């Protein structure tokens, strides 16, 4: 079994409907599969967001700035973190909204050829005062295959409650 597969298997069980607010256990950690960063992906992100800064498009410029070549946009990495989290299918039937990202830190450059994954841990949860739902805080890290943390952040998710008779962890 590869280290990547071992990491992916180290997470709490998720029911067939994913997680609802009642299913959240503080401290549970989830790890996604790896994704390879490509020059094409960086270029596509730049095109879609209209960010064609030469750090992301011109190897010579990026090298003159002290990088080995072009680097991915920080927001590319943050967006990728959300995308990789969705591959876990945690909130397929329970997500109401993302309430935002806090404490975002771009720690190291993201380079073409990097294989990255997300590590996410539930750190706080509180019931909503206005809806049958809860607000869940996730600490999220984008990590290169060699263990280097590239981005760290906190994410707030607004998650629906389910009927108590069908709570996954009570079955």
pLDDT (0 to 100) of residue 11? 56
Task: Give the pLDDT score at 16.
Answer: 74
Q: Are 86 and 111 contacting, i.e. CB atoms less than 8 angstroms apart?
A: no
* Mean pLDDT, all residues of the chain: 90
pTM metric for this prediction = 0.86
Share of the chain above pLDDT 90, in %: 82
Query: Mapping DSSP to helix (H, G, I), strand (E, B) and coil, where does residue 27 land?
Result: coil
Give me the mean pLDDT over the 156-170 stretch: 70
Are the CB atoms for 92 and 17 separated by under 8 Å?
A: yes
97 DSSP β-pair partners: 158
**Token code pair at residue 47:** 């095109």
* pLDDT of res. 17: 79
The half-sphere exposure of 24 on its side-chain side, counting CA atoms within 13 A, is 26
Residue 86 has pLDDT above 60, yes or no: yes
- Asked if pLDDT for residue 1 goes beyond 70, the answer is no
pLDDT at 162: 84
């Amino acid at each position: 079994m590869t280290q990547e597969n071992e990491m992916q298997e180290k997470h709490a069980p998720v029911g067939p409907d994913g997680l609802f607010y009642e299913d959240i256990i503080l401290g549970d950690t989830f790890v996604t599969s790896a994704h390879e960063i490509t020059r094409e992906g960086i270029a596509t992100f730049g095109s879609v967001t209209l960010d064609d800064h030469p750090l992301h498009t011109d190897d010579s410029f990026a090298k003159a700035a002290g990088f080995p070549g072009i680097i991915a946009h920080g927001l590319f990495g943050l967006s990728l973190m959300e995308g990789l989290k969705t591959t876990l299918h945690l909130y397929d039937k329970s997500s109401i909204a993302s309430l935002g990202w806090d404490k975002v830190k771009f720690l190291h450059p993201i380079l073409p050829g990097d294989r990255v994954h997300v590590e996410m841990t539930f750190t706080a949860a509180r019931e909503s005062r206005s809806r049958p739902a809860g607000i869940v805080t996730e600490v999220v890290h984008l990590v290169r295959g060699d263990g280097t943390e590239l981005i760290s952040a906190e994410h707030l998710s607004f998650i629906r409650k389910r009927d108590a008779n069908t709570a996954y962890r009570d079955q």
